[in-house]
Amino acid sequence: MNSAVVQTTNFMSAFFDVIVIGVGSMGSSTCYHLSNRGFKVLGLEQFDISHEFGAHAGQSRIIRRAYFENSDYVPLLTKAYENWKALETETATQVYFQTGLVYFGPAEHLLMKGVKQSASLYNIPLEHIDNESAAKRFPQFKIPGDFEILFEPEAGFITPENAIRLYAKQARKKGAEIHTREKVSEWRKEGDGVVVTTDKNIYRCNKLIITAGAWAGKIIPFLSEKIKVTRQFVAWIQPHSSASAPGMQQWDHFALGEFPCWLMTDNFTQGCYYGFPILPESEFGEPAGLKLAHHYPAMTTDPDHVNRLMMACDEEDLKYVLDKYLPGCFESLLSYKICLYANSPDEDFIVDLLPGHEDRVAIACGFSGHGFKFASMIGEILADLATRGKTDLPIEFLGLKRFLA
C-alpha cells in the first residue's frame, strides 16, 4: 500500500461523533458510556491505560456516601455505586470492596459534622462507637479519649487501575477506538464541529469531551489559572510481623477482611489522613503493604515536571500519623508513590459544558483528590452533556457558573 492510500484511509476514518481527550479515570468511563449508547467514539490518551503519572495510580481509592465535603454529592454517589455494580456484573470482575470505613476525630470538627449531616439527611447507615468498644474493635489505632468514632459499614474501596482497564476494554468491545501514547496538542472549533490535533494525526468530531486530569489547565485555556496541581505522597509500610511488645500490632491485624478503610482528622493538621487494609501485591507494582496518605492539597507542581522522589516533608508527615495514631505498627517503608491532585479553587469538581462553544465541548476536571469514587457516573453525565446537551443528574453545584460571576 502506498503512503497516499494510507493518508486517505486515515482521513476517511478520522471523523467521530465524540472525541474524549484523556482516557484515565473519567475518560475511560466516558468512552464506555458513549460507546454503550452506540456513538462513534475516539479516546486519546497520552500515556497507557492505566499509568502512574496522573491521578489514578496506587491500587485503591476510598468510596463512601456520608460525604463530609458537601451533602449535594450524595445523590451522585448513589448513582456511582449503582454504576460500579453494573460494571462488575457486566465484566464478572470485582472492583468494589466493602470493608467499612472508620472515621475518627474531634466531634466538633467540620469533617465529622459533615459525615453526620450527610448520613442523617440521606439515611445512610452510620454507627456511633464509644471509645471502649472502638479499642476492642479497632485495636490497631490509638484513638484519643475525646475523639468521636463513626463507622460507615457500606463504605470501602475501588481498585482504580483495574476499573479503568475494564471500562476501556468494554468500550473497545462496543466499538470505541482508544489510542494510547498519543498526546493532544491542540483543539479548536471549526465550522459545525471540532478539530483535534495530536502528535500523530488530526481528527474531527461533532462533540468534544475533555477529561485531562492534572493537564486540564494546559488544554483548556479558561482553566489555566484555576486548576492548581499538587504533588501527593502515598506510602506502603510493612507492619511488624509479630506482636513482640504490648500494644504492637502485627501484620495480619491489618489484612483485608480484618481491617477497615479509615479516615482521621485532628485539630493540628490540614485535611485528613486515611488508609486501607493490606491487599495482595498488585499486577501494577504495588506491594502487599499497609497503604496510608494525607488528603490535603500539598506542594504545587507542573504535571510534566514532578519530583517523584520522597522528600523530607513526606517522611515527616508519615511519621506524624504513624507515631500518633498507629504507634508501634511501623517496621519499614516498603514503597511510595507520588500522584497528582488537580484542585479546583473551592475543591468541588468542575463538570459542565464549556461556555462559548455552542454546547460542543464538555469538561470534567478539578476533582481535587476525591473524584475517583464518582468516575462510574461522571462518564454517564459527560455522555449526557455531549449527546443531549443536559443531564438529569443533579450537577448544578459543579457548574462553571460559580467562577463566572
Please report, as ranges, the residues that interact with ligand FAD according to CB under 6 A: 21-22, 24-27, 44-47, 54-56, 58, 61-62, 183-184, 211-213, 215, 219, 232, 234, 293, 339-341, 365, 367, 369-373
Whole-number minimum distance, CB 59 to ligand FAD, in Å? 10
Burial class (CB in 10 A: 0-12, 13-18, 19+), 283: exposed
Whole-number minimum distance, CB 275 to ligand FAD, in Å? 10
> Quick one: 306 or 393, whose CB is closer to ligand FAD?
306
CB-nearest residue to ligand FAD:
24
Whole-number minimum distance, CB 182 to ligand FAD, in Å? 7
> Quick one: 54 or 328, whose CB is closer to ligand FAD?
54
Strand order in the sheet with 96-98: 61-63, 156-158, 96-98
Going by C-beta distance under 8 Å and a sequence separation of 6 or more, which residues neighbour residue 179? 42, 43, 44, 45, 198, 200
* Cell numbers found for residue 231: 504533588
Whole-number minimum distance, CB 187 to ligand FAD, in Å? 9
> Quick one: 219 or 386, whose CB is closer to ligand FAD?
219
Which of these, 167, 247, 245, lies nearest to 211 by C-alpha position? 167
Whole-number minimum distance, CB 293 to ligand FAD, in Å? 5
Whole-number minimum distance, CB 218 to ligand FAD, in Å? 7
> Quick one: 247 or 271, whose CB is closer to ligand FAD?
271
> Quick one: 227 or 328, whose CB is closer to ligand FAD?
227
Distances (CA, A) of 98 to 127, 137, 257, 258: 16, 17, 9, 12
DSSP letters of 106-167? ETTSHHHHHHHHHHHHTT---EEE-HHHHHHH-TTS---TTEEEEEETT-EEE-HHHHHHHH
Query: 92 in the Ramachandran plot: left (φ > 0), alpha (ψ -120 to 50) or beta?
Result: left
Which of these, 248, 271, 249, 269, lies nearest to 258 by C-alpha position? 249
Q: C-alpha 165: how far from its chain's center?
A: 14
Whole-number minimum distance, CB 4 to ligand FAD, in Å? 28
Whole-number minimum distance, CB 375 to ligand FAD, in Å? 7
> Quick one: 184 or 328, whose CB is closer to ligand FAD?
184
> Quick one: 113 or 218, whose CB is closer to ligand FAD?
218
Residue 230, SS3 per DSSP: strand
* Cell numbers found for residue 59: 491500587
What CA–CA distance (Å, rounded) separates 128 from 146? 14
> Quick one: 150 or 178, whose CB is closer to ligand FAD?
178
> Quick one: 102 or 293, whose CB is closer to ligand FAD?
293
What CA–CA distance (Å, rounded) separates 287 from 143? 27
Whole-number minimum distance, CB 247 to ligand FAD, in Å? 28
